[in-house]
Amino acid sequence: MLSQTVLHRIKAASHVCVFTGAGMSAESGIPTFRERNEGLWAKHDPLEVATPEAYKKNPQLVWDWHVHLAEKVRKASPNAGHQAVAKLQALVPKVTVITQNVDNLHQDAGSCDVLELHGSLFRLTAFVDKNVMYSDERPPVICHLCKGYAVWEQCDHFADRSDLAELKLATGRVPRCPGCGALLRPDIVWFGEMLDPCVLEGAVDAADSCDVLICVGSSLEVEPAASLPYRALRRGAVVVEINPVPTALSATADASLIGKAGDILPGLLRQVWGIEIGR
């Protein structure tokens, strides 16, 4: 339950930021990462399947692991929590969704302003090996399709954007960019990689300017994402956390609502705006 003060501040907010992690999609059937027994990292060592080094060592193994995850994600539909987040757009002048998830479920539910901090399983990009040296005689160019570094002579300048768009995470050999021949990879952020600076800047701006931040289903163990709710909190924004178990944020948040996203988010809409979202 929310206190009357928090409830009124949410109702009066002109910018609400919803910050989400894997728990947001748990009720859609997508496993979280760090939960004991069922979490993805309980079953697989992230260093073997989610780093550039792992991909360089064995691209097919890393590709196959992501295909398996993508198959689960493609079968999933938004749950009542995603729907409640999308519904917020009709209730608050500005809503920004900052997600660590790569499953597109916020967009599928109808959320428009979604910042994908960790990328998306629905896009492919070139694997750029930063250790590869290009000589002066063969300086690299940026491939017009995958935006990866490429050697000019190896590029097919007639290859079309649609040739790349047709490729997706699917069973089989790791595909190559139709433009430059580079090995492709899912456009997600692996361990040890930088976030897209534009996306991160957008997320920082949102955390720094919102009136309310609702943090849903994240263990808050991965930086820089984990700092965003604290930025909002330090500035005096109302911070509400939704999670079945307490996290490091729970003690300092204005409200820590213990429970599942699919139950608590519709309950929050009911309590603040009197809106019903079906399960």
Q: Cite the active site residues.
A: 118
Of 9, 23, 214, 232, the one binding ligand OAD (CB under 6 A) is 23
Kindly identify the residues of this chain, within the stretch 53-112, that bind ligand OAD according to CB under 6 A: 100
Taking the C-alpha atoms of residue 105 and residue 86, their distance in angstroms, rounded to an integer, is 10
Number of residues that bind ligand OAD (CB under 6 A): 26
Q: Which residues of 18-39 are buried (b: 16+ CB within 10 A; e: fewer)?
A: bbbbbbbbbbbebbbbebeeee
CB of 251 to ligand OAD, least distance (A): 15
Closer by beta carbon to ligand OAD, 130 or else 173: 130
Of 16, 150, 189, 257, the one binding ligand OAD (CB under 6 A) is 189
Of 118, 146, 214, 240, the one binding ligand OAD (CB under 6 A) is 118
Helices 197-209 and 227-235: crossing angle in degrees, nearest 10, is 30
CB of 250 to ligand OAD, least distance (A): 10
Residue 9: CA atoms inside 13 Å, Cβ hemisphere, count?
Answer: 17
Burial degree of 213 (CB within 10 A; 0-12, 13-18, 19+): buried
Is 267 near ligand OAD (CB under 6 A)?
Answer: no
Segment lying near ligand OAD (by CB under 6 A), choices 34-42, 132-140, 160-168, 232-240: 34-42
CB of 17 to ligand OAD, least distance (A): 16
Nearest to residue 169, comparing CAs of 182, 186, 148? 186
Is 39 near ligand OAD (CB under 6 A)?
Answer: yes
Of 38, 45, 71, 221, the one binding ligand OAD (CB under 6 A) is 221
Segment lying near ligand OAD (by CB under 6 A), choices 52-60, 90-98, 123-131, 240-248: 240-248
Cβ atoms of 216 and 18 closer than 8 Å? yes
Closer by beta carbon to ligand OAD, 49 or else 238: 49
Residue 270: CA atoms inside 13 Å, Cβ hemisphere, count?
Answer: 12
Segment lying near ligand OAD (by CB under 6 A), choices 10-18, 60-68, 147-155, 219-227: 219-227
Q: Reduced to 3 states, what is the DSSP secondary structure of residue 49?
A: helix
Cβ atoms of 222 and 196 closer than 8 Å? no
Measuring CA to CA, how many Å separate 2 from each of 94, 173, 211, 270?
Answer: 21, 51, 16, 12
For residue 31, the Cα-to-chain-centroid distance in whole angstroms is 14
Closer by beta carbon to ligand OAD, 117 or else 180: 117
Taking the C-alpha atoms of residue 105 and residue 107, their distance in angstroms, rounded to an integer, is 5
Segment lying near ligand OAD (by CB under 6 A), choices 28-36, 57-65, 69-77, 132-140: 28-36
Is 186 near ligand OAD (CB under 6 A)?
Answer: no
Interface residues toward ligand OAD, by CB under 6 A: 21-23, 26-27, 32-35, 39, 100, 118, 189, 216-219, 221-222, 242-245, 247, 260-261
